[in-house]
């Protein structure tokens, strides 16, 4: 049976400055976004409409602000509303941990809406550009989760070759390394599917819809192997909070994908 190696969370110590592995995975995610989004701006459908590297850098800035604020607020309101509504100032204490992907997504969408308004571009044009660039960043974050030994999986059959004991869980139960499942599904696999799909021109909004459906489905599957939050457990229909949050995401993606093909591009949201 495998045992999580319990990595030192600090990758490099430079005097009083400690560089954590998790911070490095964020830097990798940002670097991947810059590279991939720049490649996207060179594709004909974006190059012809004046997209530049400077636009990508601005998108990254707004996106980072959106994901941090949205991720923290989402975690506070989706997962621990009673506590954080009683201690609202702690919502701003990001160093205490606690981020929600679904909240981060809403934050990014708000940031992209602001960017689109400022630049006079259609909202779904912006989200179509960035959607295929996101999954590898998510994959990098899941590696950070694995290194930190957090967000471990549910108990697994001991005969499973890759079942792993996470001492951080406080038990010797073999578990699914669900961080790596999410790395593969909502990270690498989703990236490949979206990148291939988005290489050809599509109606504005369809790439964004495909991202919502793809991430929602893969995250829903991965949640069956991920240990639910101890303070929530499983909710109605034996589904986790993560799964329940994926349901409207998938439905919205289906509606967006269908509507994008049915509505003339000039009428899509700006």
Q: What is the pLDDT of residues 112-168, one digit of tens each?
A: 999 999 999 999 999 999 999 999 999 999 999 999 999 999 999 999 999 999 999
- pLDDT, tens digit, 9 for 90 and up, residues 193-233: 999 999 999 999 999 999 999 999 999 999 999 999 887 88
- pLDDT, tens digit, 9 for 90 and up, residues 138-154: 999 999 999 999 999 99
Q: What is the pLDDT of residue 135?
A: 97
Q: What is the pLDDT of residue 68?
A: 86
Q: Are 168 and 45 in contact (CB under 8 A)?
A: no
Q: Where are the domains of the chain?
A: 8-265
d(CA 109, CA 253): 14
Mean residue pLDDT across the chain: 91
Q: Is pLDDT of 268 > 80?
A: no
d(CA 99, CA 37): 24
Q: Is pLDDT of 97 > 80?
A: no
Residue whose C-alpha is closest to residue 70's, from 108, 126, 33:
108
d(CA 156, CA 159): 8
Q: Is pLDDT of 237 > 60?
A: yes
Q: What is the pLDDT of residue 1?
A: 77
Q: What is the pLDDT of residue 263?
A: 63
Q: Phi first, then psi: what are they for 113, rounded to 5°?
A: -65, -40
Residue whose C-alpha is closest to residue 46's, from 125, 108, 111:
125
Q: What is the pLDDT of residue 212?
A: 97
Instruction: Name the 3-class secondary structure at 174.
Output: strand
Q: Are 168 and 147 in contact (CB under 8 A)?
A: no
d(CA 245, CA 189): 21
Of 70 and 176, the one with more pLDDT: 176
- pLDDT, tens digit, 9 for 90 and up, residues 45-79: 999 999 999 999 999 999 999 988 888 888 888 88
Quote the tokens at residue 129.
């550009």
d(CA 202, CA 45): 9
Of 188 and 70, the one with more pLDDT: 188
> Which residues fall in the annotated binding site?
142
Q: What is the pLDDT of residue 104?
A: 87
Q: What is the pLDDT of residue 94?
A: 66
Q: What is the pLDDT of residue 270?
A: 47
């Amino acid at each position: 049976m495998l045992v999580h190696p319990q990595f030192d969370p600090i990758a490099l110590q430079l005097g009083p400055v400690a560089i954590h592995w998790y911070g490095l995975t964020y830097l990798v995610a940002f670097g991947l976004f810059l590279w991939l989004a720049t490649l996207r701006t060179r594709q004909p459908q974006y190059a012809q409409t004046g997209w530049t590297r400077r636009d990508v850098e601005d998108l990254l800035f707004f996106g980072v602000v959106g994901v941090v604020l949205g991720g923290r607020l989402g975690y506070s309101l989706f997962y621990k509303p009673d506590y954080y509504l009683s201690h609202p100032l702690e919502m701003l204490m990001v160093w205490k941990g606690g981020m929600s992907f679904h909240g981060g997504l809403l934050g990014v969408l708000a940031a992209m809406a602001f960017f689109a308004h400022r630049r006079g571009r259609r909202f779904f044009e912006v989200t179509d550009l960035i959607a295929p660039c996101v999954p590898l960043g998510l994959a990098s974050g899941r590696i950070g989760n694995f290194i930190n030994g957090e967000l471990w999986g549910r108990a697994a059959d001991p005969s499973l070759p890759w079942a792993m004991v996470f001492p951080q869980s406080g038990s010797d139960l073999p578990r699914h390394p669900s961080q790596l499942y999410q790395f593969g599904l909502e990270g690498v696999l989703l990236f490949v599917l979206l990148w291939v799909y988005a290489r050809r021109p599509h109606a504005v909004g369809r790439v964004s819809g495909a991202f919502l459906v793809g991430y929602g489905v893969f995250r829903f599957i991965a949640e069956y192997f991920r240990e639910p939050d101890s303070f929530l457990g499983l909710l109605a229909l034996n589904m986790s909070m993560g799964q329940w949050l994926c349901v409207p995401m998938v439905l919205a993606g289906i509606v967006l994908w269908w509507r994008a093909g049915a509505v003339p591009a000039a009428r899509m949201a700006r």
